[in-house]
């Protein structure tokens, strides 16, 4: 159950950062600054425009600050588990997004 909640938190945070209207102006400002040549803003713009990329970083931070599922279940060191938390978060967000999109498409076909 804890793992499912972790997946849903990762999806929710990623969805709000990449798609949510609450961060739209932030994304627009970062996109404008990324065109000036700053590598930092180009990187952040890339992360915030990609569900898979953003969810990787969300997984890193969830693993560091909240709970590390790979550290818990695989019993590996924290430094290594954070990378795998990012990969796990990215995979979970991708699967949840695919599931949601599948059912949205079915609703549109009816």
Query: Looking at the predicted structure, is the pLDDT value of residue 108 above 90?
Result: no
pTM of the model: 0.91
Model confidence band, residue 57 (pLDDT cutoffs 50, 70, 90): very high
User: In terms of residue numbers, what domain contains 22?
Assistant: 2-109
Model confidence band, residue 107 (pLDDT cutoffs 50, 70, 90): confident
Name the percent of the chain lying above pLDDT 90: 86
Reference 19, options 102, 101, 109; nearest CA is: 101
Comparison of pLDDT for 46 and 104, the residue scoring more: 46
d(CA 89, CA 15): 12
Q: How many domains does the chain have?
A: 1
What average pLDDT does the structure give for the chain? Answer: 94
């Amino acid at each position: 159950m804890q793992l499912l909640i972790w997946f849903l938190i990762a999806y929710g945070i990623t969805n709000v950062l990449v798609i949510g209207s609450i961060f739209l102006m932030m994304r627009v400002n970062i996109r404008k600054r990324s065109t000036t040549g700053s590598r930092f803003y180009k990187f952040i713009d890339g992360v915030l425009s990609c569900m898979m990329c953003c969810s990787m970083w969300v997984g890193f931070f969830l693993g560091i600050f909240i709970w590390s599922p790979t550290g818990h279940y695989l019993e590996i060191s924290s430094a290594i588990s954070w990378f795998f938390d990012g990969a796990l978060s990215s995979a979970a967000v991708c699967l949840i997004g695919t599931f949601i999109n599948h059912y949205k498409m079915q609703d549109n076909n009816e």
